[in-house]
Amino acid sequence: MFVDKAHIHIKAGDGGDGAVSFHREKYVAAGGPDGGDGGRGGNIVFVGDSNLSTLADFRYKRKYAAKRGENGKGGRCRGKNAEDLIIRVPVGTVIKEESTNRILADISDTEPYVVARGGKGGWGNPHFATPVRQVPRFAKPGLPGEEYDVVLELKLLADVGLVGFPNVGKSTLISVVSQAKPEIGNYHFTTITPVLGVVRMEEGSSFVMADIPGLIEGAWQGTGLGHQFLRHVERCRMLVHIVDVSGSEGRDPKEDFETINAELRKFNPELAERPMVVAGNKCDMATDEQIEDFKRYVNEQGYEFFPIMAAIRYDVDPLLNKIREMLASLPPITRFEPEPPPVVNVEDFDDHSVNIRNVNGIYVVEADWLLQVMRGVNFDDYESLNYFQKVLQNGGVFEALRQKGCQDGDAVSIYDVEFDFMD
């Protein structure tokens, strides 16, 4: 079964907890703290697999969770990092966050891509030893791993997309120019899944052609089958619009042409600007006047017209040569760039409460809303760090610390960030 869209939940592993331990050895007095740090939680990693062509495997298993990192141990033994969870998907799969539709990754090759990062391991108690606090009896828990509800969308990687009404000859054309063998029948929606074929030209040149199941009016809103497969046109570098120039099914070729173009434009305005040529099929059933009239109409729209008879491969080569010529000057197949997480503002949260605990002289700050803000902060960037400082100020964190008795020079810990408080 061909499945090109799936909804799944992914959860990276939590970090392991740091250990509270003290060195104990014969003849060694006051060995001091020696608790190890926790290990990192496993990442969720997506890898493109050219042997897969559908997302059917995700219909039944919809939750994927990586393992948490191992807790730290005594003797400064760091906990083991958890293994990454590898999820294999067809090449061409786009991964989006379900709630925001933000693109997390475009798996257009076989390189692994980390979509959800495992949480960092917590610090063991040696990190908290100071000349004043020589026996810290506390450690830091591991941070939670990233967690998303995601949508997987398969968008075929093809150079050329064949579009047009059902039963106009798209499947016939791809079957005679490539090794693809789609089902061909004299009825609508014979092709119910996209079909890829490699068209090999002389001198070793080739390109990939996709037969997109027939579109009809209203496809962009969900009518017919086209709405399921319009997404596969988005990557195509150019389009070949096939029209039944004879009007053998009682439709006007000009109206067909305009209808399909309108559907592409409504689905994605960029598709209306995609380079395109027009192939008039079933010329053996049309009069010379019909062919010339439609050719004139297409040329007036700014497109080149190629009359063909796909079933017997008549005059198909000029069309293929034109496609090859156009592809030579077009940019490569579209890749969707991952989008950065949106900037989270304090005002976006109804609950601004924070939980502050004094743990052996360290003020530990915890708040769900603050953790979400921190995921979008780059602490190696000066401007991003200033933004985080403003969040703490505007969110009332500094005021809450003062009320808890925090003074200048006191240590403050906010998840995996530590700093000295300066009023």
* Same domain membership, residue 370 and residue 314: no
Pairing verdict, β 305-307 and 276-281: parallel
pLDDT band at 28 (very low <50, low <70, confident <90, very high): low
Of 279, 285, 329, 325, residue with least CA distance to 176: 279
Tokens of 177: 């120019």
The DSSP code sequence of 206-246 is: EEEEEEPPPP-TTGGGT-TTHHHHGGGGTT-SEEEEEEETT
- Specify the DSSP class assigned to residue 204: G
| Structural domain contains residue 335 | no
Percent of the chain exceeding pLDDT 70 equals 88
Domain boundary among 117, 134, 154: 154
Q: Which of 79-93, 182-196, 280-294 has the weakest average pLDDT?
A: 182-196
Total domain count, the chain: 3
In this predicted structure, which of 146-150, 341-345, 357-361, 377-381 has the lowest mean pLDDT? 341-345
Co-location of 305 and 364 in the same domain: no
- Give mean pLDDT, residues 248-257: 87
- Calpha distance 195→210 (Å, rounded): 6
Specify whether 368 is located in the same domain as 405: yes
CATH code of residue 44 = 2.70.210.12
User: Of the candidates 268, 301, 328, which is a domain's last residue?
Assistant: 328
- Establish if 82 belongs to a structural domain: yes
Q: Is residue 336 part of a domain?
A: no
Q: Which pLDDT score, from 0 to 100, does residue 31 have?
A: 76
Give the model's pLDDT for residue 361.
80
Residue 337 lies in a domain: no
Mean pLDDT across the chain: 84
* Model confidence pLDDT, tens digit, residues 60-84: 899 999 999 999 998 889 999 999 9
Q: Are residues 61 and 99 in the same domain?
A: yes
pLDDT at position 201 is 84
Q: Is residue 57 part of a domain?
A: yes
189-205 mean pLDDT? 72
Inside any domain, residue 78: yes
Residue range 205-230: mean pLDDT, rounded: 63
Provide the pLDDT for residue 220. Answer: 41
Claim to verify: residue 177 and residue 321 sit in the same structural domain: yes
- Residue 295, Cβ density class (10 Å: 0-12 exposed, 13-18 middle, ≥19 buried): middle
Residue 354: CATH number of its domain:
3.30.300.350
- The helix/strand/coil state of 303 is coil
- Convert the pLDDT of each residue in 321-366 to its tens digit: 999 999 999 988 888 888 877 665 555 555 667 888 888 788 888 8
Structural domain boundaries, residue 399? 343-423
Query: Residue 183 pLDDT more than 70?
Result: no
Domain-located, residue 316: yes
Residues 41-67: tens digit of each pLDDT: 999 999 999 888 888 889 889 999 999
**253, pLDDT greater than 80:** yes
Confirm whether 334 is domain-assigned: no
